[in-house]
Amino acid sequence: MANNFEEEIKKLVSDITEVPPEKLKPDADFFKDLGVDSLKAIEIVAAFEKKYRVIIPEKDIPNIRSIRQIIEYTKNLK
Protein backbone atom coordinates (compact mmCIF):
# COMPACT_ATOMS: atom_id res chain seq x y z
CA MET A 1 0.00 0.00 0.00
CA ALA A 2 1.25 3.49 -0.79
CA ASN A 3 2.09 6.04 1.93
CA ASN A 4 -0.61 8.36 0.73
CA PHE A 5 -3.11 5.54 1.00
CA GLU A 6 -5.76 7.70 2.68
CA GLU A 7 -5.54 10.26 -0.12
CA GLU A 8 -5.82 7.51 -2.72
CA ILE A 9 -8.94 6.12 -1.10
CA LYS A 10 -10.42 9.61 -0.88
CA LYS A 11 -9.83 10.16 -4.59
CA LEU A 12 -11.31 6.80 -5.45
CA VAL A 13 -14.46 7.49 -3.40
CA SER A 14 -14.60 11.06 -4.70
CA ASP A 15 -14.50 9.91 -8.35
CA ILE A 16 -17.44 7.59 -7.79
CA THR A 17 -19.59 9.71 -5.48
CA GLU A 18 -18.80 12.99 -7.31
CA VAL A 19 -18.17 14.63 -3.93
CA PRO A 20 -14.95 16.75 -3.98
CA PRO A 21 -12.12 15.11 -1.93
CA GLU A 22 -11.84 18.13 0.41
CA LYS A 23 -15.45 17.62 1.43
CA LEU A 24 -15.05 13.93 2.16
CA LYS A 25 -14.80 13.46 5.93
CA PRO A 26 -13.22 10.13 7.01
CA ASP A 27 -16.24 9.21 9.11
CA ALA A 28 -18.94 10.30 6.66
CA ASP A 29 -21.36 7.41 6.12
CA PHE A 30 -21.52 6.49 2.43
CA PHE A 31 -25.27 5.88 2.51
CA LYS A 32 -26.52 8.45 5.01
CA ASP A 33 -24.14 11.35 4.34
CA LEU A 34 -22.91 10.92 0.76
CA GLY A 35 -26.04 9.73 -1.02
CA VAL A 36 -24.42 6.49 -2.18
CA ASP A 37 -26.88 3.95 -3.53
CA SER A 38 -26.37 0.20 -3.76
CA LEU A 39 -24.89 0.39 -7.27
CA LYS A 40 -22.38 3.06 -6.27
CA ALA A 41 -21.48 1.03 -3.18
CA ILE A 42 -20.65 -1.92 -5.43
CA GLU A 43 -18.61 0.43 -7.63
CA ILE A 44 -16.60 1.59 -4.60
CA VAL A 45 -15.89 -1.98 -3.51
CA ALA A 46 -15.03 -3.08 -7.06
CA ALA A 47 -12.75 -0.11 -7.66
CA PHE A 48 -10.95 -0.78 -4.36
CA GLU A 49 -10.54 -4.46 -5.17
CA LYS A 50 -9.23 -3.66 -8.64
CA LYS A 51 -6.76 -1.01 -7.46
CA TYR A 52 -5.24 -3.07 -4.66
CA ARG A 53 -5.81 -6.51 -6.15
CA VAL A 54 -7.70 -7.84 -3.14
CA ILE A 55 -11.03 -9.60 -2.80
CA ILE A 56 -13.30 -8.42 0.00
CA PRO A 57 -15.49 -11.29 1.25
CA GLU A 58 -19.20 -10.73 0.71
CA LYS A 59 -19.97 -10.85 4.44
CA ASP A 60 -17.63 -7.92 5.18
CA ILE A 61 -19.04 -5.53 2.58
CA PRO A 62 -22.05 -4.25 4.59
CA ASN A 63 -19.73 -3.26 7.45
CA ILE A 64 -17.60 -0.92 5.35
CA ARG A 65 -19.53 2.33 5.25
CA SER A 66 -16.93 5.07 5.45
CA ILE A 67 -13.42 5.94 4.34
CA ARG A 68 -12.12 5.31 7.86
CA GLN A 69 -13.68 1.85 7.84
CA ILE A 70 -12.00 1.08 4.51
CA ILE A 71 -8.66 2.08 5.98
CA GLU A 72 -9.22 0.08 9.18
CA TYR A 73 -10.31 -2.92 7.17
CA THR A 74 -7.22 -2.70 5.01
CA LYS A 75 -4.93 -2.80 8.05
CA ASN A 76 -6.34 -6.24 8.85
CA LEU A 77 -5.65 -7.38 5.29
CA LYS A 78 -1.92 -6.70 5.63
Partner 1 sequence: MSKKRIVITGIGVVAPNGIGKEQFWLSLKEGRSGIKPISRFDTSEFKCKLGGEIKDFKPTYFLGYKGLKGLDRSTRLLCSAAKLAIEDAKLSINYNNTDDTGVCTGTTLSSLWNFAEFDKELIRDGPLFTDVSLFPGIVINAASSQVSIRFNIQGFNTTVSTGYSSSIDALKYAIDFIRLGRIKAVLVGAVESLSLVNFAGFYHLGFFAGIRGEELSCPFDKRRNGIILSEGAAVIVIEDEIYAEKRKANIYTEVKGIGSFFDAYKTGKYHPEAYGLKESMKKAIYSSELKITDIDYISASANSVPQQDRLETKVIKDVFGKFAYNIPMSSIKSMIGEPYSAGGLLQIVASVGSIVNGFIPPTINYKIRDNDCDLDYVVNKARIARINNVLINNYGPGGSNASVVIAKYQ
Residue in 58, 74, 14 with CA at minimum distance from that of residue 40: 14
- By rule CB under 8 A, what string of x and - marks binding of each residue 14-53 to partner 1? -xx-x--------------------x--xx--xx-xx--x
Q: Which lies closer to partner 1 via its Cβ, residue 52 or residue 73?
A: 52
Q: Which lies closer to partner 1 via its Cβ, residue 27 or residue 37?
A: 37
In terms of DSSP H, where are the helices of the chain?
5-17, 38-52, 67-77
State the Cα–Cα distance between residues 24 and 8, nearest whole angstrom.
12
Q: Which lies closer to partner 1 via its Cβ, residue 3 or residue 55?
A: 55
State the Cα–Cα distance between residues 3 and 39, nearest whole angstrom.
29
Instruction: List interacting residues with partner 1 (CB under 8 A).
Output: 15-16, 18, 39, 42-43, 46-47, 49-50, 53, 55
